[in-house]
Amino acid sequence: MASVAKPGCQEKCGNITVPYPFGLDYPDCYRDGYDLTCNHTFNPPKLFISTGNLEILEISPSLTQLRIYGFMGNSCYDRSGSETESWYSWVDLDDLPYTFSDTHNRFTTIGCDTLSEITGSEGRNFTSGCSMACSDKESVINGSCTGIGCCQTSIPKGFKNFNVNVWSYENHTRVWNFNPCSYAFLVDYDWYRFSVEDLSHFYERYGDSLPLVLDWAIENETCETVSRIYPSYACGKNSDCYNSPNGLGYLCNCSQGYQGNPYLEDGCQGNLLDLSSTYMNALQKFDYIYTVVV
């Protein structure tokens, strides 16, 4: 199987494959802005965006998305209503070729005495949130995030930074016996399924980080404005350019009949010659049959 990294460059970090334009260690191994770090102090090693603390869980085989760990915001209280813990969550992708996927992520809030807010910026400014109150555990439905114990809202496309804050109306004093904390986070919609147990044991089940999805593209250009003759053109031979659906820029895909990594110069390989031979052989057989019948 052909390598998906540039020649001489590391292709794996732990169990994660690192395809070009992403790369490790040396500037020649990655496109500008797509540098990653493989931290070998973990066993197995963990992959991070650039030199930051955003851990990568997966680079999609289609080379259009990353799955990373994001952080949650929370506020917790004791029985008397005194706050025992409070965290706000933020992720900053400024100066990086990524944005938060509007199709795969949802802003999610957990709690029965809860007010939450997400504020996005850099590319698109917006504020959204949830407000919930429920008096007992029995009124909450497993798997349902429609506003009773769990709320989910869509996010717009095209923003690079967000902050999450979460508060309580009455410091959970009326619901403390089954819900001492409120939580809010951006999460991969396909990954998270709400359980009533999350009202009391969310942290024990998930910790302080949950997966979310990033879209990426070759930024600041479109297929209409970029040319194959440009030194910065990202698509290799036997590949096609298409504009990214998130509006960031453009992406590359191997042309029909080819497969591989379209961002490598010779990354798209195919069997068009073999297919042509097969087609010609089929025509010759058909011609022979036609001649005999006639």
Predicted confidence (pLDDT) at residue 1 exceeds the cutoff of 50: yes
Predicted confidence (pLDDT) at residue 99 exceeds the cutoff of 90: yes
CA dist 212 and 214 (Å) reads: 7
Q: Say what the pLDDT of residue 122 is.
A: 85
CA dist 17 and 4 (Å) reads: 8
Average per-residue pLDDT for the chain: 89
**Length of the chain in terms of residues written:** 294
Contacts of 177 (CB under 8 A, 6+ apart): none
Q: Say what the pLDDT of residue 103 is.
A: 94
Rounded to an integer, the average pLDDT of 169-184 is 96
Confidence grade of residue 285 (pLDDT, cut at 50, 70, 90): very low
Confidence grade of residue 218 (pLDDT, cut at 50, 70, 90): very high
Instruction: Give the CA distances from residue 86 to residues 40, 82, 114, 165, 184, in Å, rounded to whole numbers and listed in that order.
Output: 31, 11, 13, 9, 11
CA angle 153, 154, 155 (to 5 degrees): 120
Give the pLDDT confidence of 100-158 residue by residue, as tens digits: 999 999 999 999 999 999 999 988 899 999 999 999 999 999 999 989 999 999 999 88
Confidence grade of residue 272 (pLDDT, cut at 50, 70, 90): low
CA dist 279 and 292 (Å) reads: 20
For the entire predicted model, the pTM comes to: 0.87
Predicted confidence (pLDDT) at residue 53 exceeds the cutoff of 70: yes
Give the pLDDT confidence of 236-255 residue by residue, as tens digits: 999 999 999 887 899 999 99
Rounded to an integer, the average pLDDT of 35-51 is 95
Predicted confidence (pLDDT) at residue 188 exceeds the cutoff of 50: yes
Q: Say what the pLDDT of residue 208 is.
A: 86
Q: How many CB atoms lie within 10 A of CB 133?
A: 16
